[in-house]
């Protein structure tokens, strides 16, 4: 059986950050938590026939800002999930939280509800940069929030840090890294700010560091992270040995996942026909809430063609330092190696890929020019 994860989207935020292209909506008035939970459960019920008998290896509450939901609400959702799906004994249950949205004792209550991993959206500890990013917290609040997560007994947690921020120089970037490492995070996501279409930053682009400065920031930050014992296991993700995010590993290794909530996406392999179905739920919270009555859950859906599966399989898997397991080509992407041989040969010929036993892995050059490498597998 293919591994199966569950993603639960909570679409509200206190306000919209100017760089954000996620499906997040500024909270206006009270969040309709009870109605949303009811809709999530109806959504899940609707999907159950697609995954009968398959155990779930990880659950991820993403957003938006899931920590805007009460611990009671998260508890109710998890109880509803448990009564409908079988969870593996070591099921990883992650909740994204933002400093400034959670009172301290709430982390303990999340843990009691069954959450066993927190992903904290820190982005930076620098007050001026946080303000430029439109974040609602400051550096001190970020530190207090991490301390609260640790005090609540979470041994598994992630810190999200961004770099390449407006007017950020090397010293500022390294200060963020040093501050994050003080908390000894078992997992850290370190990603570069990019300007996405249809965001406030795209309309009024800020001045970002030049490429040379970015190279220095990355090189020196990476050295600090390595010195702290963290392994660079994915393009933007670092962890202590044995601590990668199991949920994200399932995406990168082209496993199946259910997505419930406004704008959530899912990818399910129909075990009887071997077809791979991808869907996206209604993006706007109001349309999503209305789906419980209208039955129109999906904003989009389709069965993936062979070319789509080929691209997705390599696009995701090559981000991992360990590369892709070529055995998974037939098991998960329903493709034969003959279908991809020409692309593998080209990537090897250009020095971007090595094939060793059953694995295809980006070389250092391929890792550096990931877009070029991934582009070889485009339909």
Find tokens 């063609």 and name the residue: 305
- In whole angstroms, how close is the CB of 167 to ligand SF4 at the nearest point? 19
Chain positions 270 to 329 lying near ligand SF4, rule: CB under 6 A, are none
**Cβ closest to ligand SF4, residue 288 vs residue 311:** 288
Among positions 4, 10, 17, 113, the unique one binding ligand SF4 when judged by CB under 6 A: 17
Chain positions 124 to 163 lying near ligand SF4, rule: CB under 6 A, are none
Find tokens 């399989």 and name the residue: 313
Q: Does position 362 bind ligand SF4 by CB under 6 A?
A: no
Q: Does position 63 bind ligand SF4 by CB under 6 A?
A: yes
Q: Does position 58 bind ligand SF4 by CB under 6 A?
A: no
Q: Specify whether the CB–CB gap between 118 and 140 falls below 8 A.
A: no
Beta strands in the chain (DSSP E): 4-10, 12-13, 25-26, 56-63, 87-97, 117-123, 157-163, 187-192, 231-234, 237-239, 256-260, 265-269, 276-281, 298-303, 324-325, 353-356, 359-362
Among positions 8, 10, 13, 353, the unique one binding ligand SF4 when judged by CB under 6 A: 13
Contact region with ligand SF4 (CB under 6 A), list: 11-19, 196-204, 233-241, 324-332: 11-19
Structure tokens at 138: 């400051």
**Cβ closest to ligand SF4, residue 73 vs residue 323:** 73
Residues contacting 334, CB < 8 A, separation 6+: 269, 274, 276, 306, 309
Please provide the DSSP assignment of 270-287 as one string.
-TTT--EEEEEE-SSHHH
How many CA within 13 A on the CB side of residue 255?
A: 24
Contact region with ligand SF4 (CB under 6 A), list: 13-21, 161-169, 211-219, 292-300: 13-21
Contact region with ligand SF4 (CB under 6 A), list: 59-67, 150-158, 259-267, 304-312: 59-67
Q: Does position 191 bind ligand SF4 by CB under 6 A?
A: no
**Cβ closest to ligand SF4, residue 10 vs residue 78:** 10
- In whole angstroms, how close is the CB of 25 to ligand SF4 at the nearest point? 9
Q: Does position 121 bind ligand SF4 by CB under 6 A?
A: yes
Q: Does position 98 bind ligand SF4 by CB under 6 A?
A: yes
* Inter-CA distances, 68 with 13, 74, 208, 300, Å: 7, 10, 31, 27
Whole-number Å distance between alpha carbons of 114 and 45: 21
- In whole angstroms, how close is the CB of 105 to ligand SF4 at the nearest point? 22
Q: Does position 66 bind ligand SF4 by CB under 6 A?
A: no
Considering only CA atoms, which of 31, 19, 41 is closest in space to residue 163? 19
Residue 135 burial by CB count (10 A; 0-12/13-18/19+): exposed, middle or buried? buried
- In whole angstroms, how close is the CB of 69 to ligand SF4 at the nearest point? 14
Structure tokens at 220: 């020196």
Q: Does position 67 bind ligand SF4 by CB under 6 A?
A: no
Cα dihedral angle (352, 355, 358, 362), rounded to 10 degrees? -20
Radius of gyration of the chain (CA): 21
In the chain, helix, strand, coil percent, each to 5? Answer: 40, 25, 35
Q: Does position 65 bind ligand SF4 by CB under 6 A?
A: yes
Structure tokens at 140: 């001190």
- In whole angstroms, how close is the CB of 189 to ligand SF4 at the nearest point? 13
Cα dihedral angle (159, 160, 165, 168), rounded to 10 degrees? 10
**Cβ closest to ligand SF4, residue 41 vs residue 159:** 159
Q: Specify whether the CB–CB gap between 44 and 78 falls below 8 A.
A: no
- In whole angstroms, how close is the CB of 196 to ligand SF4 at the nearest point? 11
**Cβ closest to ligand SF4, residue 58 vs residue 199:** 199
**Cβ closest to ligand SF4, residue 20 vs residue 109:** 20
**Cβ closest to ligand SF4, residue 16 vs residue 278:** 16
Among positions 4, 6, 10, 24, the unique one binding ligand SF4 when judged by CB under 6 A: 24
- In whole angstroms, how close is the CB of 97 to ligand SF4 at the nearest point? 10
Q: Does position 16 bind ligand SF4 by CB under 6 A?
A: yes
Residues engaged in binding ligand SF4 (CB under 6 A): 13, 16-17, 20, 22, 24, 63-65, 98, 121
């Amino acid at each position: 059986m293919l591994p199966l994860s569950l993603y639960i989207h909570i679409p509200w935020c206190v306000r919209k950050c100017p760089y954000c292209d996620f499906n997040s909506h500024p909270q206006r008035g009270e969040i309709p938590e009870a109605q949303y939970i009811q809709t999530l459960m109806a959504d899940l019920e609707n999907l159950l026939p697609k995954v009968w008998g398959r155990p779930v290896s990880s659950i991820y509450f993403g957003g938006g800002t899931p920590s805007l939901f009460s611990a009671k609400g998260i508890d109710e959702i998890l109880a509803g999930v448990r009564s409908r799906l079988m969870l593996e004994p070591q099921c990883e249950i992650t909740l994204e939280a933002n400093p400034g949205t959670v009172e301290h004792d709430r982390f303990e209550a999340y843990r009691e509800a069954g959450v066993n991993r927190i992903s904290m959206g820190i982005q930076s500890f620098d007050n001026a940069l946080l303000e430029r990013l439109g974040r609602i917290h400051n550096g001190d609040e970020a530190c207090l929030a991490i301390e609260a997560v640790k005090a609540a007994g979470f041994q598994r947690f992630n810190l999200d840090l961004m770099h390449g921020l407006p007017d950020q120089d090397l010293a500022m970037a390294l200060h963020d890294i040093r501050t994050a490492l003080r908390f000894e995070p078992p997992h850290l996501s370190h990603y570069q700010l990019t300007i996405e279409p249809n965001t406030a930053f795209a309309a009024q682009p800020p001045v970002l560091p030049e490429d040379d400065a970015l190279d220095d920031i990355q090189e020196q930050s990476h050295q600090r992270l390595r010195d702290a014992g963290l392994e660079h296991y994915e393009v933007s993700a670092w962890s202590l040995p044995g601590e990668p995010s199991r949920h994200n590993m399932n995406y990168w290794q082209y496993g199946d996942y259910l997505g419930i909530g406004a704008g959530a996406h899912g990818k399910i392999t129909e075990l009887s026909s071997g077809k791979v179905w991808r869907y996206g739920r209604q993006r706007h919270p109001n349309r999503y809430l209305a789906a419980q009555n209208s039955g129109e859950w999906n904003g989009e859906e389709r069965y993936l063609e062979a070319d789509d599966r080929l691209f997705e399989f390599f696009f995701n898997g090559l981000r991992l330092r360990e590369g892709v397991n070529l055995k998974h080509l037939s098991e998960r992407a329903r493709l034969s190696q003959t279908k991809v041989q020409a692309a593998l040969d080209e990537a090897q010929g250009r020095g971007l890929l090595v094939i060793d036993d059953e694995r295809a892995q980006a070389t250092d050059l391929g890792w550096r020019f990931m877009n070029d490498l991934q582009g070889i597998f485009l339909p």
